[in-house]
Structure 1
Amino acid sequence: MDPYDSDSSVDDDLTDTGVLLGYAAEEVIEDTISHLGGWPKWLDDNAPAPGDFANCKVCNSPMLLLLELHGDLPDHFPTDERRLYIFGCPRKPCNRKPGSIRAYRATRKISLGSGKPQEQEEPKQEEPPKPAQPKQDLGASLFGSTNLTSTVSSNPNPFSTSSAPTTGTNPFATPVPAGAPAEKITSTAALASTFAEKVRISSPPPSAPTKATPESATATPWPAQSAFPPPYKNFYLDAEYETLSRPSTPEVPANVQIEPMDEDGTAAGAELKDTFESELDRDFMKFSMRLEHNPEQVLRYEFRGSPLLYSTGDAVGARLLGKNISGGKITTLPAGSIPACEYCGSQRVFELQLVPHAITMLEEGRPGVGLGKDDAGMEWGTIIMGVCGRDCAPAELGVTGWREEWAGVQWEETK
């Protein structure tokens, strides 16, 4: 059995999964919403997060932004505008303590028929059958554009798992308007579109006029920037679906001698091998091997999917442990394994997780100005975000609601 699970095979050597991977990029792109580090950008500037959401639950001091993600899901919540945030406390005394990393969701209801009322269908004369349109899926539903199918000639749906895009092309490039003069592409950065355009089916309709949020009207206001430590460096996000290299069967070189078997049937040297393996965390090895297929990933996204566990022996791993695990990835997420939404009682579902390369990017060149010896550096292995499966929010149009969601932190293992 392959040491990973897959949704479909692309060819004999590569496998695409249903997981969208995020990659950090310094280049400024059109959509600056989805990013690592930097300062948060609010879904509604008139209704920022409640002030107490800014603070670490351990030291009650302002935290730093780790991730902001444009989270619209028209396929699942067509009347919701969504934004996801993860904050973390950089102070050494708070490391590894519950509440030092917090996750939030902002949701605003919009009118599905804004600006264009639905029209009743009228009988039409029969027309010649048209070619079947590509099926829209979650891969097109998060960060999107209005027309992704024109960007890949070899695969009408760049997010389908039935075939692979043509080598050397970028299936997520921004479509060129009809009749526009062709421009010479000078770099791969010129082909990149927004991270938001990689997972949405269509852009949401114009939102209704915003109102003051009842929840935030009486809450403590969000602190001024001067109250926060220096932020992490801002990185924008690009995205591609996860592709795994199918492992080949190793061949034994001609000059290698096979160890003789002992009388009890074990190979000589097996004891040494067991000793070596006992020093390694098998869960961590599975986790690392999965990430090595795409080592520069900072984010894994699969709404209603399953997380990749850093460990199965800690509290978070035990909570999320499924009956089936392949390559460290849960293939069956047990019902109720993520705490239910405290606001509406609905079951939470997995949406995303940050992985260790995000630490490398965020802490690159960071001197800890203003924190001194208290800046311990991040020590988590992965941060798993579970969100309300109903996307609960105020029912009034244009009202932004804030919800604290579940942040399951698996800390880096220490000896």
Structure 2
Amino acid sequence: MSSHDEYSSDEEELVDKNQKSDVLLGFVDAPIVEEEDENDDESDLPTIEDTFIGSKPLWLHPESIPDEKLVTCDNCGKKMALLLQAYSPLDGKLYDRVLYIFGCKNTAQCSKKKGSIKAFRGISKDAERIAQIKQEQDEAVQKDLDEKLQLDNKKKFNIELTKDLFSTDKSTTNSSKASNPFGSSTGSNPFASSTSQNPFAPKQSPFDANPFGKKEEPKKEEKPAKQSYAEIASKNIPKKKGKSNKSQYELPAYAGSFLYVDKETFKKEAADPELEKYKHLIDMDVNKEDGQGSGSRRDSTSSVSASGIDPNRAKISNMLDDKYFENFSNTVKHNPGQVLRYNLGGTPLLYSGRDDIAKKFLGGAFNVPKPGFNPSSERQFEIQLMPKAIIDLENIKDDEVNIADILNGMSWGTIIVCTDVEDYVPEDSLDSNRVAYIEEWCGVQWEESV
């Protein structure tokens, strides 16, 4: 569900403009078509400048793939599947940069086990590619300037034409006005609003702070139709045909979907928090002892029903008492379709306040391990994967759900990734193609069994 569906033009008045956020949200845009048609110039396969969940990973060079250890589960030793590939270039950096998150599909055995989910950063410092990026940015700036000048000239022509059609008789027109065909009745310059602006300044848009786009690239005027994540991440860059990237090892895969980003907005409060619906389970007087049931706390944004599971009252009470889980639910309900959150240098949205992962982000400065490859540096929060992604990755349909699938599927609440502040890559990590893959810190907040 796109944010354009969630906020139609008729619902814009429901957005609370007093609440501001620096967070970018990722939403599912369209499925990835795995079949490649060599005769199709508009391939549906992703490119490096796309961001997507599931499907097969796209490496930064066909001959440069990560060490097998990065895509192998530390618990069962099996190859893991791609959960997220996010194109994440940094401002002022002229190289390709991609974040990868992998997870083990052997969830029955490896769920909640260390090393069953990993994240790493891919960097390409190929000189030819850097020169290409620079050229594309220069061309984009020139193209945007030309379009702006054409628009300004068109406005001037229309104003002149309007003046000629509706001007009064020259004999009765004040001579000072007649001498200036562009003069207005107030003597103001009708072009002041356009000429006073810097034609080189980028247009303001909700994606000005988008780390997935190049800093130097100007923003086009927004179109009524929604923009895909790829269009935002590579604005003004010519689209290249996607090509399959065959790995030297086979990887399992989830269903794939392209993503697009939008600025986080909030709806005006009109109802009680969603967790209110659980309170009657705590307050009700149970007259008979029900059979013990077990299950998992699923995505608070999902419509997947867990009917048939009788949760333990005490554990549900603990859930409601966790202010961080309540904040997570109340925040996500404003944009229930989100599958990722991006906020470089910001703060993650914690799924729970009680586990070891939460302790690393609470109580002042973050206590995330420093990068071993750059010990003098620090790590900062960058991106997190949201539970709605589970629904899309596992391709769960509301009318096809069964309890066994829910219990045997992925059971994480959120996956938090922190990266090196300096974006450092050891020189000896770069291969002959100037490509490197560096493992970063990945914190998983798992669902609590109830």
| Alignment TM-score > 0.5, same fold | yes
- Offset of 1:390 from its aligned partner? 1.1
> Structure 1 398/86 Cα, relative in aligned 2: closer, same or farther at 3 Å?
same
SS of residue paired to 1:359? helix
Asked if 1:38 is matched to 2:68, the reply is no
Deviation at 1:150, TM superposition (A): 3.1
Give 1:82's aligned amino acid. Answer: R
CA deviation after TM superposition for structure 1 residue 143, in Å: 4.0
Question: Which TM-score applies when normalising by structure 1?
Answer: 0.64
Give the CA deviation at 1:193.
3.2
Q: How does 1:12-411 map to 2 (within 5 A)?
A: 13-14=16-17, 15-27=19-31, 32=47, 33-73=50-90, 75=91, 77-91=92-106, 92-111=108-127, 130-132=196-198, 133-134=201-202, 139-143=209-213, 149-152=219-222, 170=224, 191-199=225-233, 223-225=248-250, 228-229=251-252, 231-247=253-269, 280-282=320-322, 283-323=324-364, 334-335=365-366, 337-345=367-375, 346-365=377-396, 376-395=408-427, 399-411=434-446
Cα separation, 1, equivalents of 2:236 and 2:346: 21
Give the alignment of 1:2-21 within 5 angstroms.
13-14=16-17, 15-21=19-25
Q: Structure 1 residues 279 and 98 mapped into 2: Cα distance closer, same or farther (>3 Å)? A: closer
Provide the C-alpha distance between the structure 1 equivalents of 2:445 and 2:31, rounded to a whole number of angstroms: 30
Tell me the alpha carbon deviations over residues 60-97 of structure 1, each in whole angstroms, 9 at most, x when there is no partner: 11011101111112x1x513310110000121111101
* Aligned counterparts of 1:296 and 1:249: Cα–Cα separation in 2: 19
Q: Give aligned-pair identity as a percent.
A: 32
Q: Rate the CA distance shift 1:315–1:203 in 2: closer, same or farther, 3 A.
A: farther
**Aligned-partner SS, 2:425:** coil
**2:16/2:265 contact within 8 Å kept:** no
| Residue correspondences, number | 307
Look up the equivalent residue of 1:245 and give its one-letter code.
K
Q: Which has the higher helix share?
A: 2
Q: CA deviation at 1:317?
A: 0.2
1:12 and 1:36 map into 2 onto residues whose CA distance is 28
For 2:388, give the aligned amino acid: H
2:174 aligned residue: none
Matched, 1:414 2:414: no
**Contact 1:144–1:203 (8 Å) recurs in 2:** no
Q: Which runs of 5+ in 2 are unaligned?
A: 1-12, 33-43, 139-191, 241-245, 273-281, 285-313, 398-403
Q: Alpha-carbon deviation of 1:27? A: 4.5
**Does the 8 Å contact 1:49/1:222 carry over to 2?**
no
1:17–1:11: structure 2 CA closer, same or farther, 3 Å change rule?
farther
* Letter of the 1:353 counterpart: Q
Describe the SS at the equivalent of 1:93: helix
Cα distance between partner residues in 2 of 1:27 and 1:377: 21
Name the SS of the counterpart of 1:303 in structure 2: coil
Structure 1: gaps spanning 5 or more residues: 1-9, 120-127, 153-168, 171-190, 207-220, 251-270, 324-333, 367-371
Richer in strand (by share): 1
Letter matched to residue 423 of structure 2: D
Sort the Cα spacing of 1:12 and 1:39 in 2 relative to 1 into closer, same or farther, 3 A: closer
2:114 alignment partner AA: P
Partner Cα distance (2:15, 2:110) in 1: 47
Alpha-carbon shift at residue 414 of structure 1 (Å): 1.4
SS of equivalent to 2:118: strand
Deviation readout 1:96-122 (Å, 9 max, x if unpaired): 011000001111225565676xx9xxx
| Residues 381 and 419 in structure 2, CA contact (< 8 A), matched pair in contact too | yes
**Quick check: which has more Rg, 1 or 2?**
2
CA contact (8 A) 1:82 1:105 kept: yes
CA distance in 1, matches of 2:414, 2:203: 32
TM-score, with length taken from structure 2: 0.59
Residues 356 and 104 (structure 1), Cα distance of their counterparts in 2 relative to 1, 3 Å cut = same
Output the CA distance in 2 between the equivalents of 1:304 and 1:202.
Answer: 27
1:26 match: secondary structure: strand
